[in-house]
Amino acid sequence: MCWYRAFHCSHGFALFQDDTAFEKQSALFALAVSDIVLINMWCHDIGREQAANKPLLKTVFQMMMRLFSPRKTTLMFVIRDKTRTQLENLEPVLREDIQKIWDSVPKPHAHKETPLSDFFNVEVVALSSYEEKEEQFNEQVANLRQRFFHSIAPGGLLEIGGVMVATVRCEEIANEKFAAFTSNENWCLLEEAVQSGPVAGFGKKLNSILYESLSE
């Protein structure tokens, strides 16, 4: 079963200066233990050069360089107090900002050309103003909650990442067990014996060895 932990990065991080130890440690912790990182941002910050979340995003990207692995993290940007502007118009601007920050982050030589998508799945959702549209806000939050409840189902937040991790781990286990089978003492003796000719009870002996390996 695939579990997730969500780490909530609010606009309050703007109170800390860029590259402070606290911000780096918080970002590193979030990325190390989470499959999904939530990042709150105000609608009016989208497209602004001095938006509160830009220093935080830069730190997140820098920290990810230290944790690169087959498991990708989902960055979910929660746009707060969405205006009348449609999400379809806001999302491309936000994604362009994210890409610019990624491009500006210093990278080790091995990942100079590595695209953002190799490290992150980026999701964007929008919430209406709680003060002005409480009913609509509550409905949108309920829908978002359901996406977490069904995060590994088709279309869920962890569908891609969860399947990828499971695939990698299953391959590791299969390789480990195959290596154990080929080095099994009984198999080695049986393999050596058949070089000289038919072995009595070969099928039964091989079946016993295979059953032991597969059951693991």
Q: Which two tokens stand for residue 132?
A: 């002005």
Lowest mean pLDDT among 37-41, 54-58, 150-154: 150-154
The tokens of 110 are what?
Answer: 């091995």
Q: Which range, 32-46, 143-157, 195-209, has the best average confidence (pLDDT)?
A: 195-209
Instruction: Locate the domains of the chain by residue range.
Output: 6-157, 170-215
Give the pLDDT band (50/70/90) at residue 167.
low
Q: Among 151, 143, 129, 169, which Cα is nearest to 36's? A: 151
Query: Rounded to whole angstroms, how far apart are CA atoms 97 and 202?
Result: 65
Q: What are the beta bridge partners of residue 184?
A: none
CA angle, 128 then 130 then 132, to 5°: 85
Alpha carbons 160 and 186: distance in angstroms, whole number: 41
Q: Please classify residue 41 by burial: count the beta carbons closer than 10 Å to its beta carbon, then call 0-12 exposed, 13-18 middle and 19+ buried.
A: buried
Please give the single-letter amino acid code of residue 155: G
> What is the pLDDT at residue 149?
73
Instruction: Tell me the whole-structure pTM to 2 decimals.
Output: 0.56
- The rounded distance, in Å, linking the Cα atoms of 192 and 60 is 55
| Exposure class string for 3-23: b at 16+ Cβ within 10 A, else e | ebeebebebebbebeeeeeeb
What CATH code is assigned to 6-157?
A: 3.40.50
Average pLDDT, the chain: 75
Q: Which residue, 23, 12, 13, 101, is CA-closest to 61?
A: 101
What three-state secondary structure class fits 74?
strand
